[in-house]
Structure 1
Amino acid sequence: MKAAFTLSRPVLPVGSSSKVDVLVSFRADAQGPARRGLNLSLVIDRSGSMAGAPLKHALQASRNLIERMGPEDWISIVAYDDSPMTVLAPQKVQDKAAIEKVLSKVNAAGCTNLTGGWQAGVGHVKAQQAQERINRVLLLTDGQANVGITRHDDIISRVKESAGAGIATTTLGFGSSFNEDLLIGMAGAGEGHFYFIQSPDDAEGVFGIEMEGLSSVAAQNLVVTLQPAPTVKVASVLNRYRFEARGQQVEVGLGDVYTTEDRQLAVELAVDAGATPGTAPLLTLAYKYQAVVDGSLKEFSGELPVTVTLGSEEEANALSADKNVLAQTSRLRIAQVKDRAVELADQGDLKGASQQLRNTISELSANIDKSSFELIEEVDQLEHYAKRIESKKYDAVIRKEMRDQSYQAGTRSRNDLALRGTAGGSADELEAVSSAEGGVIVKCEREGGKLRVRAVSDGYDASFNIQFPRSAREEGVTYVVEKLVPSADGTFYRAQGSIKRLVVAGQERSARAGSGGGAPRKTGKASKVTGSAKDLPTTNAVGGGVLVQCVKEGSKLRARVVSDGFDPNLNMRFPRDIREEGILYVVDEVIEVSGGGSYIACGDIKRLVQ
């Protein structure tokens, strides 16, 4: 493995106190070791809230992952609702058709015993655990732990203990109801990864990214020890890695290194420069890691001295900051600001949260490289989030986007994971026209978990990104912009002048039509239906409704809510004639009775078919 460093400032002024960022990249050898065998357990949330599209796409992504595995790899599958169920005991991936057939039998029902499912997966991985294999649990969920062990600290403690025993955990959160703090905490403690799957059909791409990493592990347990020079202090570790300070020395755990992705470490140093010009030491970076050689796990180590040039103040000021280091460290500092903004917003301090973002926007706007589309896009997203918070539209999706972006920036160096998020704004307020005369046609589309705008009109490169207001981005909408101007380096376009929405003739200035039949009708009136469950209208999606399941308790059939955000133990007023054990229902609305203690099903009721 090769290690190299770059400084944000190539020259520091002699006799002064300065701050400098160090960006260290660890790169696996080009040849790399042979592909490691895999020992994976897929732990799939089959609780009621996963019914419909989320579970369908989770299962399809699981099939695609299995297709990527080889005959020497091991796989097990656990499905969980109120309790975990092993649907595939550990076996080698030698009969993919049979494994996929097992997956097709997984249906949704019940509540979310997340910890029980994860523990079952760990047990299966442990049964086939070997040092020369990649041993990992992949947890897929759209909900929160509401059955079994539910305290976050207890869950994360167990995940950390498992990682210490050599079994990592990757978490994948679907939709907007899961607890991202818990899943991010599990991924961090579990030496794995976290992914936010905002749209169900993003699952395949995310699984591809995870599988690419698992198939290209070149080194494990990379640990870096920073020993600063006597006049230098480690002011901060900018990445989201676990680290421990021991006096002036700092130890940082970076985890796995892949042949397909550099592992980066960024630290800020406080330097009291000496009075003598020339090369001066900043710190010594010692690192160690493990790699499989000839079928057995061996430990390796290395050392990298980090130095800087000291010169006059004129020499230091004459040289601009390194663009790459500035871009990478800016992303990491922005990630920290997003986390602080989320913390303030959670406390109800929306003004403080917005101010955090706006202060960062001001700093970036004055210093960023105007030819960097990624940093320009970052500023536009911060502006979008600030406006959403200021207008009191801070919701679960915005929170998850900000937390996901912060996590990915702090742990990965993949562009396809950076700035993911599809909660754009709205095109409704734009002037709607039916002619593109005198303008350029562009369209907003979702690509790999991001909203991107591309040129449609002839004469423009349709592969180029377009700098376009995030607040006006809406998937599937076509626009007319006054003009597109190439960036200075000719790698993307900037939309300039007026922006209008392009519609068909007769719909000028019209609002966007609703999709999917609109949201369920909220009436607050108790549901009244006739006939039995088989007479109910059917649906294959929960949408904005509430999922209810009928369960047997003794000689009684009772209805309970299985959608997240409700207490599954409360009784419910629910039409008796349609109650049938095991059936899942989609109810327009569920309200709590005055005084609490039970629920009432309100509005229309449909039977969920899977």
Structure 2
Amino acid sequence: MKATYTLSRPVLPVGTSSKIDLVVSFQADAPAASTRRPLNLGLVIDRSGSMAGAPLKHALQASRQLVERMGPEDWLSIVTYDDAVFSVLAPTRVTDKAAIGAVLSSVRAGGCTNLSGGWLKGVEHVGVNKSPERVNRVLLLTDGQANMGITDPGALVSTARQKSADGIITTTLGFGSNFNEDLLIGMANAGEGHFYYIQTPEDAEGVFGIEMEGLGSLVAQNLEVTLKPAPTVKVASVLNRYRFESRGQEVAVGLGDVYATEARQLAAELSVDAGSASGPVTLATLVFRAQAVVEGVIREISGEVPIVANLASASESAAVSADKNVLAQTSRLRIARVKDQAVELADKGDFGSASQRLRQVIAEVSAHLDKASYDIAEEVEQLAHYAQRLESRKYDPVIRKEMRDQSYQAGTRSRGDLALRGTAGGSADSLEAVSSAGIGVLLKCVREGGKLRVHAASEGYDPGFNVQFPRSVREEGVTYVVDKLEPSGDGTFYRVGGTIKRLVMPGQERGARPAEGAKKKGKPTASKVTGSAADLPTTNTVGTGVLVQCVKEGSKLRARVVSDGYDPNLNIRFPRDIREENVLYVVEEIITTGNGGSYIACGDIHRLVQ
């Protein structure tokens, strides 16, 4: 196993104090070998009444696919539970897959949810054949609340931690919208396993495939990392969701398992008091150790990595750009924390503060990171969608689960297929409905791997490219007509330009409808203000407005729209007297000129304060 690191700022100015981000990646030394460590799995399936129909059907089908990935060297047990617990398959080697399939086919939905009883029986079965040479794991599937047996979340999480210390890992999978995500995430964290949100039953097989892909490529277990900072450096925070412990100036972090198919990453913020002499300086020493199977024997592997930066003059330091990849990664981790904060506030009924936190992070990301990356653009669009839902007091279990899942996955995993999952879009009902595309471009909204995606359907465009598209009007299965589609700056996705309409059958045409709760307005007029930026009224939230930033290009101050769904490269008609470099403005409305080549700021303008 090898460890590599990157700093957000590799060159620091001498004689100053600053904060920088560190990202460390742990990966296999070489591509995964054809052989893998034998599995010892306990499959625990909720068969309570709420699982009846599609959820149980797809959970069982995903379980059959899991069995197909196993071999005669692997052990499997199957427990089902409702208000009672049934060991439908005692621990057995996977030699007769047809017989195991028959067992799964006999499972039917039952009564209440004795989650603790089913899970503990699964742990017991895995314990029969537990071995350091095997991957010992329980996979707990549920769609409901623990309402029988041990129901106290704290007791269940503590027990999961104890079982992990004994060598049995727990992975939790939540189906639908009724399970307790805080409990399942807590058990997965304490149990050193993974958590998955299966929003629709059809996603179950893909999620099982992700888990099995990891288990089949295990490189090392129990990865422990200690950051030992230099006397002039402090570990300000660990940005991931891993368990960690401060030991004086040192910080010990448990990262769990490492897979060949997925780098394990550790991100931290360092506070540095730079010395007065130029040249390389060791900020910290990273010490790691883990257990790995080497030539059929469990051995401890370890290593040390010095974290080195360069000190230089202020001008030399300023000439070196920040690492955008590191900033993007650490921004996602900080956004994950904000999502959890927003959930906590919304749970208390404080929807205004919850939305404000999301709007603030939108402004921060828009100000410091360009959106040439589709992932960043999509992150901002989802934040705006959640903020809008909170402002409309449409805070439901699905939105809560999406935000908690996205926060969890960002904080613990580095897989793109698990990032930003969620299919709770908006509604296309507010759009003007037309029956002909005319000279417009056709787009289609589809669900892909637990995500809502929009792709081009007209000829001349790459249907594999994602389209940056407002989530508030994304609706699965809907076809849209847009004025134009332009490639992003890096040429990897498209941006929508002009108006968006919905394509319908002839006879169903109609005009646009105001969004729910929207106020009817007259014709928008260009913004007119007097005085300077300092004279503008201020706001600490974007609300339903549009974010505009002022930047310097050569000798000119240029305004650009940085809210998602707009092209930041287009010019905007914006009052010159209030333009001030790096100031963020909230504009009531942005409209596109008749030729689609520029924007006009309309209505009130506020200065955003943070």
TM interval, shorter chain, is 0.7 to 0.9
Aligned to 1:280: 281
Aligned to 1:256: 257
CA contact (8 A) 2:373 2:490 kept: no
RMSD: 1.1
- SS of residue in 2 equivalent to 1:131: coil
* Cα offset, 1:85, TM superposition: 0.4
Aligned to 2:345: 344
Q: 1:462 & 1:446 partners in 2: Cα distance? A: 14
* Cα offset, 1:508, TM superposition: 1.1
Q: Deviations over 1:485-528 (max 9, x none)?
A: 0011111000111000000101113899xxxxxxxxxxxxxxxx
Q: Deviations over 1:456-507 (max 9, x none)?
A: 0000000000000011100000000111000111110001110000001011
Q: Deviations over 1:236-257 (max 9, x none)?
A: 0000100000110000000000
Q: 1:32 & 1:376 partners in 2: Cα distance? A: 33
Aligned to 2:497: 496
Aligned to 1:39: 40
- SS of residue in 2 equivalent to 1:193: strand
Aligned to 2:391: 390
Matched, 1:191 2:208: no
Q: 2:511 & 2:196 partners in 1: Cα distance? A: 37
* Cα offset, 1:294, TM superposition: 2.6
Partner amino acid, structure 1, of 2:354? A
Aligned to 2:64: 63
Partner amino acid, structure 1, of 2:458? S
Q: 1:443 & 1:511 partners in 2: Cα distance? A: 19
Q: Structure 1 residues 511 and 180, CA, compared in 2 at 3 Å: closer, same or farther? A: farther
Correspondences of 1:458-537 after superposition (within 5 Å): 458-509=459-510
Q: Deviations over 1:416-454 (max 9, x none)?
A: 000000000000000110000010000000000000000
- SS of residue in 2 equivalent to 1:36: coil
- SS of residue in 1 equivalent to 2:346: helix
Aligned to 1:19: 19
CA contact (8 A) 1:35 1:217 kept: yes
* Cα offset, 1:130, TM superposition: 0.9
* Cα offset, 1:369, TM superposition: 2.8
Q: 1:237 & 1:481 partners in 2: Cα distance? A: 43
CA contact (8 A) 1:36 1:134 kept: yes
Partner amino acid, structure 1, of 2:261? T
Q: Normalised by the size of structure 2, how large is the TM-score?
A: 0.83
Aligned to 1:518: none
Q: 2:380 & 2:122 partners in 1: Cα distance? A: 41
Q: 2:413 & 2:235 partners in 1: Cα distance? A: 22
Q: Deviations over 1:185-208 (max 9, x none)?
A: 000000100000000000000000
* Cα offset, 1:297, TM superposition: 1.1
CA contact (8 A) 1:426 1:471 kept: yes
Partner amino acid, structure 1, of 2:21? D
Aligned to 1:456: 457
Moved beyond 3 Å, runs of 4+:
31-34
Q: 2:460 & 2:50 partners in 1: Cα distance? A: 47
* Cα offset, 1:71, TM superposition: 1.3
Q: 2:468 & 2:17 partners in 1: Cα distance? A: 39
Aligned to 2:336: 335
- SS of residue in 2 equivalent to 1:147: coil
CA contact (8 A) 2:431 2:512 kept: no
Q: 1:289 & 1:248 partners in 2: Cα distance? A: 22
Aligned to 1:165: 166
Aligned to 1:309: 310
Q: 2:90 & 2:391 partners in 1: Cα distance? A: 51
Q: 2:209 & 2:67 partners in 1: Cα distance? A: 11
Q: Deviations over 1:518-559 (max 9, x none)?
A: xxxxxxxxxxxxxxxxxxxxxxxxxxxxxxxxxxxxxxxxxx
Matched, 1:401 2:402: yes
- SS of residue in 2 equivalent to 1:110: coil
Higher relative contact order (CA 8 A, sep 6+): 1
Q: Deviations over 1:366-398 (max 9, x none)?
A: 111321110110000000000000000011000
Partner amino acid, structure 1, of 2:385? H
Q: Deviations over 1:142-176 (max 9, x none)?
A: 00100010000101111111000000000000000
Higher alpha-carbon deviation: 482-491 or 414-423: 482-491
Q: 1:110 & 1:250 partners in 2: Cα distance? A: 47
Q: 1:376 & 1:320 partners in 2: Cα distance? A: 21
Q: 1:294 & 1:3 partners in 2: Cα distance? A: 21
Q: 1:240 & 1:385 partners in 2: Cα distance? A: 22
5+ residue gaps, structure 2: 514-610
* Cα offset, 1:333, TM superposition: 0.5
Q: 2:510 & 2:278 partners in 1: Cα distance? A: 67
Matched, 1:134 2:135: yes
* Cα offset, 1:30, TM superposition: 1.5
Correspondences of 1:50-449 after superposition (within 5 Å): 50-449=51-450
Q: Deviations over 1:63-90 (max 9, x none)?
A: 0010111111111000000021000111
- SS of residue in 2 equivalent to 1:192: strand
Aligned to 2:579: none
* Cα offset, 1:290, TM superposition: 0.3
CA contact (8 A) 1:323 1:369 kept: no
Q: 1:84 & 1:463 partners in 2: Cα distance? A: 46
CA contact (8 A) 1:131 1:296 kept: no
Partner amino acid, structure 2, of 1:403? R
* Cα offset, 1:286, TM superposition: 0.2
Q: 2:9 & 2:97 partners in 1: Cα distance? A: 54
Q: Deviations over 1:223-244 (max 9, x none)?
A: 0000000000000000010000
5+ residue gaps, structure 1: 513-610
Aligned to 1:570: none
Aligned to 1:604: none
Q: 2:405 & 2:512 partners in 1: Cα distance? A: 31
Q: 1:10 & 1:131 partners in 2: Cα distance? A: 40
Partner amino acid, structure 1, of 2:30? A
* Cα offset, 1:213, TM superposition: 0.2
CA contact (8 A) 1:426 1:474 kept: yes
Aligned to 2:9: 9
Q: 1:266 & 1:288 partners in 2: Cα distance? A: 17
* Cα offset, 1:32, TM superposition: 4.1
CA contact (8 A) 1:132 1:292 kept: yes
Q: 2:358 & 2:114 partners in 1: Cα distance? A: 37
Aligned to 2:605: none
- SS of residue in 1 equivalent to 2:429: coil
Q: 1:31 & 1:312 partners in 2: Cα distance? A: 42
- SS of residue in 1 equivalent to 2:430: coil
CA contact (8 A) 2:10 2:309 kept: yes
CA contact (8 A) 1:229 1:281 kept: yes
Partner amino acid, structure 2, of 1:186? M
Identical columns (%): 71
Q: 1:11 & 1:477 partners in 2: Cα distance? A: 49
Q: 2:366 & 2:294 partners in 1: Cα distance? A: 48
Q: Structure 1 residues 89 and 510, CA, compared in 2 at 3 Å: closer, same or farther? A: farther
Aligned to 2:530: none
